[in-house]
Structure 1
Amino acid sequence: MVVPVFRASVASFHPLFDSLCTRLSTNSSLPKNSRLLPFASSELNPVQSRPELSFCVGTHFIPHPNKVERGGEDAFFVSCYNGGVIAVADGVSGWAEQNVDPSLFSRELMANASYFVEDVEVNYDPQILIQKAHAATSSVGSATVIVAMLERNGILKVASVGDCGLRIIRKGQITFSSSPQEHYFDCPYQLSSEAVGQTYLDAMVTTVELIEGDTIVMGSDGLFDNVFDHEIVSMTTRFIDVSEAAKALANLARSHSTDSNFDSPYTMEARAKGFDVPMWKKILGMKLKGGKLDDITVIVSQVVNSHAVSIS
């Protein structure tokens, strides 16, 4: 089936948005802490020996084919604060079996993260941002989450709970790859409304130094379960525009997810964990194949010199 793609002129914690890349948000009608456009600074601090860095961001979201009418269960936000903040949350679909809309938790979590991003207690720490956003979320459900915050000096701080992922690409090579956290195969760590879930203390925290020209690809597992790292590198080097790169990666993930003959990262991991076709099929040379249908969220961010970016 053809999955519709939703577009809008501003970013939001709600997932139905794609392909945004702007230089500076000057829209004063947006409330404080919820200005969600990419960004740039027009001045350099003369005492710094290196240029100030920021993100130019493109996003694209495609819902699961069976969840189009509900808008899917992923959520994300992009903030212009400091060097920039990008985040993705993936609602755990198992809650639907209890008549709970899995999207409510992930969307509220991202809305709260957007609200607290400039909070003095957060102090530009993604792990603390996760803590405060989770504590303020009252919806029933659970979600995996990843948050990355870029400081103007090029230091990227990343905190993640579960299997949303991030790749850093430099000169055509992946220099950093986040690692998924799982209890067992296909059961990731997750923040939850229940006391038995994980908390910000379980987050995997990483600090990476970035340079101008680096590309960051962030996404829900709908991307990384269906697209190999070499394909991610190929797409981001093929498309200079981050919006086009995000769209291309999301469309590639969607294509792979519906291909029953594609040997996807998801099915390769499944086989490695002992999940495969029955023995009689193995004897006939068959094996578990296919992509994984899921919501697909992709955020592509290019690290740019804030001073060199024109303001419009």
Structure 2
Amino acid sequence: MVVRPSTREMVFKSKEQWHWFDCPRQLGTNSPDTPVNCAVVDEVPIREGDVVLAMSDGVIDNLWAHEIVEKVSESVERWERGEGREEGIVEGEDGRDMMGFVAEELKEAAKVIALDPFAESPFMEHAIEEGLASGGGKLDDISVVAAMCRKNKG
């Protein structure tokens, strides 16, 4: 997903890649899914300041896209106000500290829903559409990588 915090909008979201409901493609060791046969490549117009996210299904099964956009935008704003920094830590020029904070905040938001048996979640909604009884979040691995687009200083 690509989020534009300056306007609080989702610029791009990849399509879910499933074999069937709750069985995502997995490009990894011992998987029949291979990058050569299954990887999808998209071209996305980006701007400086956009945040590019790579997330596991533990995030997107527990947070709707608009919640991800809001959490990322809010986290960037909080960081810029000086919140969320440990004492003595100063953001590097490459923005890694800010993006670490953004990823951690997004991970924690997904974890809250994953652990809540009464929460409404995208996974619950999809399960019901498939005719399966489901309630609450989905406990799963939750991984987030966040990167902010910046101009090269070349």
- TM category (shorter chain) comes to 0.7 to 0.9
**Matches for 1:218-257 after TM superposition, within 5 Å:** 218-240=54-76, 241-257=98-114
CA deviation after TM superposition for structure 1 residue 295, in Å:
1.3
Return the letter of the residue paired with 1:169.
V
Match of 1:198 in 2: 33
| 1:174 and 2:2 correspond | no
Hey, what does 2:137 align to over in structure 1?
Answer: 291
How many residue pairs match? The answer is: 129
Q: Does 1:264 align with 2:99?
A: no
2:24 equivalent in structure 1: 188
CA displacement 1:27-86 (0-9 Å, x = unmatched) = xxxxxxxxxxxxxxxxxxxxxxxxxxxxxxxxxxxxxxxxxxxxxxxxxxxxxxxxxxxx
Question: Could you tell me which residue of structure 1 aligns to residue 80 of structure 2?
Answer: none
SS at match of 1:306: coil
Tell me the secondary structure at the aligned position of residue 253 of structure 1. Answer: helix
- Per-residue deviation, 1:270: 0.7
Match status 1:302 vs 2:148: yes
Distance in 2 (CA, whole Å) between partners of 1:205 and 1:306 is 23
Report how far residue 190 of structure 1 moved. 2.8
Q: Structure 1 CA distance, aligned partners of 2:68 and 2:62?
A: 11
Residue aligned with 1:207, SS: coil
Q: 1:208 is aligned with what amino acid?
A: V
Give the counterpart letter for 1:269 in structure 2.
H
Per the normalisation by structure 1, the TM-score is 0.39
Deviation at 1:193, TM superposition (A): 2.6
What is the rounded CA distance, in whole Å, between the counterparts of 1:306 and 1:205 in structure 2?
23
Task: Show structure 2 runs of 5+ residues with no match.
Answer: 77-97
Higher strand share: 1
Aligned Cα RMSD in Å?
Answer: 1.7
In 1, Cα distance between equivalents of 2:101 and 2:33:
35
User: Which structure 2 residues correspond to residues 58-207 of structure 1 after superposition, within 5 A?
Assistant: 167-170=1-4, 171-191=7-27, 192-193=29-30, 197-199=32-34, 200-207=36-43
CA-CA distance at 1:198 after TM superposition: 2.3
Q: For 1:264, give the aligned amino acid.
A: S
TM-score (norm 2): 0.77
- Cα distance in 1 for residues equivalent to 2:55 and 2:125: 19
Q: Hey, what's the Cα distance between the residues in 2 that align with 1:221 and 1:275?
A: 18
Stretches of structure 1 that go unaligned for 5 or more consecutive residues are: 1-166, 277-287
Q: Distance in 2 between matches of 1:263 and 1:230?
A: 14
Structure of larger gyration radius: 1
Compute the displacement of 1:307 (Å): 2.2
